[in-house]
């Protein structure tokens, strides 16, 4: 069997944890499996490098940021290969150049185009455990790129697809996907399985268990994922395309506090304005979520939407620089907002979920500022300070066992 | 003019020093020059990584050590490019893959085979300052290699040769080459110029100003080097092929405390033994220096020689593993030894230097344990504790102005 395993930063934060990871890999190796291991940077390395870079140049070129950040995973894989070799098991570390993991040209938020498998297969054939740098790739200029936060999950899925792996295991510091964040909702339950689409809505919305692009890729290539704990040997959550026998109405409640609201005030009430705004942002790879457009009056209207807090500065600058195309009177921003969502494949055939969610929020006095929905998700934008309270109330409504 | 500049670890140890380096590069850039900058890892980064690796696996595979160490320079060049960009000057960082700096396969102590210049020239043509990772290369397997301690000097010279640069400037934390280490000999004088051969003897013997391979390469390709201070703007030392008008008898006195003595006791007194020993060590890239072979008696003899302290463990293990070929009775080692040398092109035509050196050492009570000479150098092996005293005495004899 060919198994791709992925361990995040907290799972390789220090020597003992790296040895723990290596031992789990050796167990599978010694059963005769081929083992490919994707690692993130150790502990808080990426944050540390980002802070150093911000100190050096608050507006550092993204190309150079990626060059800098890519060192983090290279350290992890070299360390893991050393640990593996200390255990008497042959191992090798490979970076984005060595595997040849080709991505689009975009720095900081790149996507895989093609992964060469020759080198990895060669190393597996000589019975080595292969440690591969997560999070990074190379583009057509031979420059290093990174896949955005949590990109190592995507590396694992892309490798599993390219290698036609028999299993793709994502090890994290939680032991599966829960109906809500257990730190916020003490009676949150672990899901045995979840569909790609549900996971995708959860991932996009801040469940932080899996990188959303990794789930998209897994769905596209039919890679069955398992989310497991790096520390405890307990059953995890399987992410797959499945028709559940007993489909739950709601699978989970998530909160995303990494949201900021931008309001573009007083633009002309004419067609095409919204397109121009979102096209500008899309061209710079800034994801826009929950959108609200006011009803025009006095010939003007307002457009509000959310972006990731990390994109806020770039988005506002971009809008200001291009105000000749938009002609707004004012741009307002608010970082103290959060998105709270309910996700469930069962919602497709049940109309009562939205009403139940609004009732639950009303019951704890949470004011809803904006709403957005998909076939299997309802998201509300609320004050950040209300987020935990809102999650508990909504979880209570749909997922409590009492 | 195309200028290659090299800055060592202490010159890029923190943000302020990186900005200092960047400003010196921009000065040359703004005069219209093409500027290529080779950087070492920041401050004590390499030592830190080595310590982490030793903790992970005291006997880590060298391939993985190089994979790990190579991250150090990549951080430096990315940081410098960010700083340069903050100063409004376009810059780009390139690592061993991106330049394509091809080396031999040996890990930890590799040599350049070929450096591609296309990417660097392309970046120079778009008027960027190009920051290149020192110390590292890639081998035919696409694996990262390192050039051994101080290898960034070699990177700079190899790049200068490949690019046919007009100047190659090596910036260090001293402001040139001195007749002795000024910390040991207060009245040591800075040399205005020195020949490749003299520098080579000094470098090999621990003057620590230039990596010896860089001087070999510079001699081979006729690259004129200047050794300069990163911090003070004063005239440095030029290293070149020159017939000095007033050739000094002795150019410098050096001490190398990084030496260990190995004595192979009681081998058969027959031809070929010494060859077998040194061939074994050469095959593992262990450099052997000062050699002494005892006169045979009772059919056996002893062979003593020095290696770098860092190679001692490997050398002894290698000898023990192959004792079926050597058949010695015992292997003794001593790390508390130092090599002290006088170097001078003028020694070729003057026979009094050896006598003068021995007299000076006798005068301060230093016992000479082994001797080795070349055309322009005399080296003695002494107790490490006597090293500084010996350097001062020999410097006093030949180089003092009084």
Altogether, the residues listed in chain B come to a count of 402
- Alpha carbons within 13 angstroms on the beta-carbon side of residue B98 total 26
Alpha carbon separation from B85 to A54, A63, B388 (Å, rounded):
13, 11, 45
Report the candidate in A206, A250, A244 with the shortest Cα–Cα distance to residue A353.
A250
The residue behind tokens 């004063």 is B234
**A122 contact partners, CB below 8 Å, separation of at least 6:** none
Residue A129's pLDDT is what? 98
B167 vs A377: CA distance, rounded Å: 64
Q: Say whether A63 and B15 touch across the interface (CB within 8 A).
A: no
Please tell me which of the candidates B64, B78, B79 has its beta carbon nearest to residue A82: B64
B146 to chain A, any CB pair closer than 8 A? The answer is no
* Residues of B whose CB is below 8 A from A95: 67
- Chains A, B: CB contacts under 8 A, how many? 105
Half-sphere exposure (CA, 13 Å, Cβ side) for B294? 17
In sequence order, which residues have a C-beta less than 8 Å from that of residue A235 and are 6 or more positions away?
Answer: A176, A192
Of A15, A55, A78, the CB nearest to B67: A78
Any chain B CB within 8 A of the CB of A108? no
CB B153 within 8 A of CB B59: no
Q: How far apart are CA B99 and CA B93, in angstroms?
A: 10
Alpha-carbon distance values, B170 to B37, B81, B112, B150, B167 (Å): 10, 19, 18, 12, 10
Binary contact (B79, A97; C-beta < 8 A): no
B12 CB within 8 Å of a chain A CB = no
Tokens representing A68 are 């800098």
ipTM score assigned to the predicted complex: 0.79
B66: closest chain A residue by CA: A78
Chain B residues in contact with A74 (beta carbon < 8 A): 67-68, 70-71, 74
Distance (Å) from the C-alpha of residue B9 to the closest C-alpha of chain A? 17
What is the Cα–Cα distance from A36 to A152, expressed in whole angstroms? Answer: 13
Q: Does A96 touch chain B (CB under 8 A)?
A: no
The SS3 assignment for A291 reads strand
Structure tokens, A178:
């829960």
Q: Is the CB of A61 less than 8 angstroms away from the CB of B82? A: yes
Which residues in chain A have Cβ-Cβ distances shorter than 8 Å to B68?
A: 74-75, 78-79, 82
Q: Report the distance separating Cα B97 and Cα B120, nearest Å.
A: 12
CA distance B3 to B168: 6
**CB atoms closer than 10 angstroms to residue A208:** 17
A143 touches chain B (CB under 8 A): yes
Tell me if residue A334 falls in helix, strand or coil. Answer: strand
Residue whose tokens read 């930063």: A9
pLDDT in the model for residue B148: 85
State how far the alpha carbon of A102 is from the alpha carbons of A172, A222, B223, in Å.
26, 21, 38
On whether any CB of chain A is under 8 Å from the CB of B50, the answer is no
Dihedral sign of CA atoms B156, B8, A51, B83 in order: negative
CA–CA separation, B211 and B223 (whole Å): 14
- Best B58, B61, B92 member to test A by mutation, with max A CBs in 10 Å, is B61
Q: For residues B320, B321, B324 and B327, what is the CA-based torsion angle, rounded to 10 degrees? A: -10
B79 vs A53: CB contact, 8 Å cut-off?
A: yes
Contact B394, B357 (CB under 8 A): yes
A52 vs B contacts (CB less than 8 Å): 79
CB contact under 8 A, A70 and B75: no
Left, alpha or beta for A365 (phi > 0: left; psi -120 to 50: alpha)?
left
- Residue B393 confidence (pLDDT): 94
Cα radius of gyration rounded to whole Å, chain A: 22
Q: Which residues lie across from B330 on neighbouring strands?
A: B265
The two three-digit tokens of residue A182, written as one number:
């257990």
Gap between the Cα atoms of B79 and A146, Å rounded = 17
Q: What is the pTM of this model?
A: 0.80
Flag if A49 and B142 touch (Cβ within 8 Å).
no
- For chain B, say whether A55 makes contact (Cβ under 8 Å): yes
Put simply, whether A370 touches B (Cβ < 8 Å) is: no
Q: What is the pLDDT of residue B246?
A: 54
Candidate from A67, A81, A97 with C-beta closest to B93: A67
Mean per-residue pLDDT for B350-357? 80
User: Locate tokens 């202490």: which residue?
Assistant: B10
Residue B288's nearest CA partner among B264, B320, B253, B324 is B264
Residues in CB range of A268: below 8 A, 6 or more apart: A299, A300, A301, A327
Q: Is B173 exposed, middle or buried (0-12, 13-18, 19+ CB in 10 A)?
A: middle
How do residues B356-371 score in pLDDT, each as one tens digit? 898 999 999 999 888 8
CA angle B76, B82, B88 (to 5 degrees): 140
- Chain B residues closer than 8 Å to A50 by CB: none
Q: What is the mean pLDDT of residues B5-20?
A: 96
| Separation in Å, CA B249 to CA A345, A398, B353 | 89, 92, 8
> Quick check: A68 and B56 CB within 8 A?
no
Q: CB atoms < 10 A from the CB of A326, how many?
A: 18
Tell whether B79 is within 8 A of chain A (Cβ).
yes
Cβ atoms of A166 and A54 closer than 8 Å: no
Contact between residue A80 and residue A22 where contact means Cβ atoms under 8 Å apart: yes
On whether any CB of chain B is under 8 Å from the CB of A71, the answer is yes
Identify which of A60, A71, A143 has the shortest CB distance to residue B82.
Answer: A60
Q: Are B55 and A85 within 8 A, CB to CB?
A: no
A62 interface with B at CB cutoff 8 Å: no
- B79 CB neighbours in chain A (<8 A) are 52-53, 56, 68
Q: How confident is the model at residue B243 (pLDDT cuts 50, 70, 90)?
A: low
Largest CA distance in chain B: 76
Count CB neighbours of B217 within 10 A: 23
- pLDDT at position A74: 98
For residue A288, the distance in angstroms to the closest alpha carbon of chain B comes to 29
Q: Looking at beta carbons, which residues of chain A come within 8 Å of B89?
A: none
Mutate: best of B73, B74, B79, partner A, most A CBs <10 A: B79
Phi, psi of A285 (to 5 degrees): 60, 35
A396 contact B CB<8A:
no
A82 contacts chain B (CB < 8 A): yes
Residue listed under structure tokens 């909160």 = A255
- For residue B382, the SS3 value is strand
Classify residue A25 by burial, with Cβ atoms within 10 Å: 0-12, 13-18, 19+.
buried
Residue stretches of chain A with pLDDT short of 70: 204-207, 242-248, 349-351, 401-402
A204 to chain B, any CB pair closer than 8 A? The answer is no
Sign for the CA dihedral angle at B20, B21, B22, B25 comes to positive
Contact B85 A57 (CB under 8 A): yes
- The answer to whether B54 faces chain A, any CB pair under 8 Å, is no
Nearest-by-Cβ selection for A98 from B49, B93, B142: B142
**C-alpha distances in angstroms, A186 versus A183, A343, A387, B205, B384?**
6, 19, 15, 67, 66
Tokens representing A247 are: 């489909």
Selected residue with higher pLDDT from A317 and B290? A317
Kindly state whether A18 is in contact with chain B, defined as any CB-CB distance less than 8 angstroms.
yes
- Dist. CA A94–CA A61, nearest whole Å: 26
8 A C-beta contact, residue B18 and residue B87: no
Q: In the structure encoding, which two tokens stand for residue A353, read together?
A: 């979920």
Q: With 80 as the cut, is the pLDDT of residue B203 above it? A: no
Q: How far is A15 from chain B, CA to nearest CA, in Å?
A: 6
**What integer pLDDT is reported at residue A294 of this predicted model?**
79
- Supply φ then ψ for residue B236, to 5 degrees: -100, -155
According to the model, what pLDDT value does residue A66 have?
A: 97
If one counts every other C-beta atom within 10 angstroms of the C-beta of residue A19, the result is: 17
A382: β partners: A338
Q: Which residues of A touch B18 (CB under 8 A)?
A: 56
Alpha carbon of A142: minimum distance to chain B alpha carbons (Å):
6
């Amino acid at each position: 069997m060919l198994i791709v395993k992925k361990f995040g930063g907290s799972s390789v934060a220090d020597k003992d944890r790296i040895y723990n990871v290596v031992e789990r890999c050796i167990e599978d190796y010694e059963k005769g499996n081929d083992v490919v291991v994707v690692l993130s940077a150790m502990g808080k390395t990426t944050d540390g490098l980002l802070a150093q870079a911000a100190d050096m140049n608050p507006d550092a070129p993204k190309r150079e940021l990626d060059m800098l950040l890519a060192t983090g995973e290279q350290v992890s894989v070299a360390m893991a290969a050393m640990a593996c070799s200390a255990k008497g098991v042959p191992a090798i570390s490979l970076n984005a150049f060595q595997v040849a993991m080709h991505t689009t040209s975009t720095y900081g938020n790149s996507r895989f185009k093609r992964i060469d498998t020759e080198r990895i297969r060669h190393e597996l054939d000589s019975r080595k455990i292969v440690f591969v740098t997560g999070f990074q790739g190379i583009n057509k200029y031979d420059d290093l790129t990174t896949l955005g936060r949590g990109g190592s999950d995507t590396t694992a899925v892309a490798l599993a697809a390219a290698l036609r792996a028999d299993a793709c295991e994502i090890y994290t510091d939680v032991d599966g996907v829960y109906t809500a964040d257990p730190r916020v909702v003490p009676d949150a339950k672990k899901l045995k399985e979840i569909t790609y689409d549900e996971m995708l809505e959860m991932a996009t919305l801040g469940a932080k268990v899996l990188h959303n692009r990794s789930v998209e890729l897994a769905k596209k290539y039919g890679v069955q994922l398992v989310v497991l704990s790096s520390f405890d040997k307990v059953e995890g959550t399987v992410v797959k395309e499945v028709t559940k026998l007993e489909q739950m109405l709601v699978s989970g409640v998530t909160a995303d506090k990494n949201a900021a609201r931008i309001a573009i005030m007083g633009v002309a009430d004419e067609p095409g304005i919204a397109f121009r705004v979102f096209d500008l942002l899309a061209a710079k790879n800034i994801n826009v979520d929950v959108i609200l457009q006011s009803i025009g009056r006095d010939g003007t209207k307002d457009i509000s939407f959310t972006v990731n807090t990390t994109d806020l500065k770039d988005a506002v600058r971009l809008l200001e620089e291009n105000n000749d195309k938009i002609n707004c009177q004012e741009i307002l921003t608010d970082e103290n907002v959060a998105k709270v969502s309910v996700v469930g494949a069962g919602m497709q055939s049940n109309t009562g979920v939205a009403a139940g969610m609004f009732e639950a929020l009303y019951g704890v006095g949470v004011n809803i500022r904006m709403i957005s929905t998909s076939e299997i998700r309802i998201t509300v934008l609320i004050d950040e300070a209300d987020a935990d309270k809102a999650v508990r109330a909504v979880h209570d409504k749909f997922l409590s066992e009492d």
